[in-house]
Amino acid sequence: MLPVPAQRHRVIINTDAKNEADDQYAIVHAILTPSFELHGLIAAHFGTVKSATSLQDSRREIDLLLDLMDLAGRVRVEDGAAGALADERTARDSAGARLIIAEAMQDDPRPLHVAFLGPLTDMASALLLEPKIAERNVRVVWIGGGPWPVGGREYNLSNDIDAANVVMRSGIEVWQIPQPIYRQMPVSYAELMTRVYDQGRIGKYLVDQLIEWNNRMVPYAIEHRSLGDSPAIGVIMYPECGFSSWRPAPEFNREMNYLHTGRHKPIKVYESIDCRFIHEDFFAKLAMFARGQLTR
């Protein structure tokens, strides 16, 4: 299944991995995708409301996933910023931001895809530290932002509104997967038990931690979850994995509404997503990995 190296997608995944229970699926999916040349995983913060140590929580979760897959030390992992930008002019330097800069500045004809499953802090910091990367062949794939065209409160955006404005104003290529679209990724417990749970240590953990999170955080009976971060993996693999359109990049006010100034380079906004393609691809790759047919 391995593609020719020169045809593989250059990818970095930036993840607030312990924020909820769906980042884990996207991380594993990215690791198991043969068409990805994975340059690293970056641990991201997710504010202070859920945890005072959110960056460290994300890093521990990434390390745990790699250990459960017997891949510890074989995938590069760096820490991003410990919190949001102080303002739109000041970077939060980190090893994660420096990784983005280093890969963006590589002399490689292939685009660098940097997928953000949480806030855009580390992308904004990279742009502030090295503005030249806005002119490089970089695609920022962001799970975040409210419904178009009005917007409103959205969790990933809420954890760093300043960073989102820096990225949108920069002119860098952005593929946005907003809230109504990333919510189109439901799976049921029954599906997870039959397709994921028995696929080795990592499969059991993925299901257990999702059910535990629901039981702890949802105050009513539930037997489903939307794997809302997985579309970032799907659209890198297959950019037509849903309908999209190009629209002038917005800005955001403090209420997280879109400000349509018309002054900025267009971004690609997804309006639908093919959940069947993404879920089935993940289930198949996980099963192959558990059987030893897919290695990294």
Q: For the chain, how far is it from start to end, CA to CA, in angstroms?
A: 12
| pLDDT for 165 beyond 80 | yes
Which is nearest to 280 in space by CA: 164, 195, 203, 219?
195
Give residue 197's identity as a one-letter amino acid code: Y
Report the 10 Å Cβ neighbour count for 38: 18
User: Residue 45 in contact with residue 81, Cβ under 8 Å?
Assistant: yes
- For residue 187, the model assigns a pLDDT of 98
Burial of 5 (0-12, 13-18, 19+ CB in 10 A): exposed
- For residue 4, the model assigns a pLDDT of 80
The C-alpha angle with vertex 212 and arms to 209 and 214, in degrees rounded to 5, equals 110
* Cα–Cα distance for residue pair 222/26, rounded to 1 Å: 22
Is 212 part of any domain? no
Is 17 part of any domain? yes
Give the pLDDT band (50/70/90) at residue 3.
confident
Give the pLDDT band (50/70/90) at residue 296.
confident
| pLDDT for 219 beyond 70 | yes
Which residue range is the domain that position 156 belongs to?
5-186+227-290
73-86 mean pLDDT: 98
Is 19 part of any domain? yes
* Cα–Cα distance for residue pair 247/109, rounded to 1 Å: 25
Which is nearest to 17 in space by CA: 184, 295, 237, 205?
205
User: Residue 257 in contact with residue 57, Cβ under 8 Å?
Assistant: no
Is 295 part of any domain? no
| pLDDT for 6 beyond 90 | no
Is 216 part of any domain? no
Q: What is the CATH number of the domain that holds 76?
A: 3.90.245.10
Which is nearest to 148 in space by CA: 256, 226, 58?
256
Is 247 part of any domain? yes
How do residues 39-58 score in pLDDT, each as one tens digit? Answer: 999 999 999 999 999 999 99
* Cα–Cα distance for residue pair 59/40, rounded to 1 Å: 13
Q: What global pTM score does this model have?
A: 0.97
Is 218 part of any domain? no
| pLDDT for 119 beyond 90 | yes
| pLDDT for 243 beyond 80 | yes
User: Residue 205 in contact with residue 145, Cβ under 8 Å?
Assistant: no
Domains: count for the chain: 1
The token pair at 145 is 């932002």
- For residue 1, the model assigns a pLDDT of 66
The token pair at 78 is 């760096």
Report the 10 Å Cβ neighbour count for 52: 9
Sheet holding 36-43, edge to edge: 77-79, 36-43, 9-15, 112-116, 138-143, 173-177, 266-270, 244-248
Kindly report whether the peptide bond that precedes residue 149 is cis, defined as omega within 30 degrees of 0. yes
* Cα–Cα distance for residue pair 92/176, rounded to 1 Å: 23
Report the 10 Å Cβ neighbour count for 93: 14
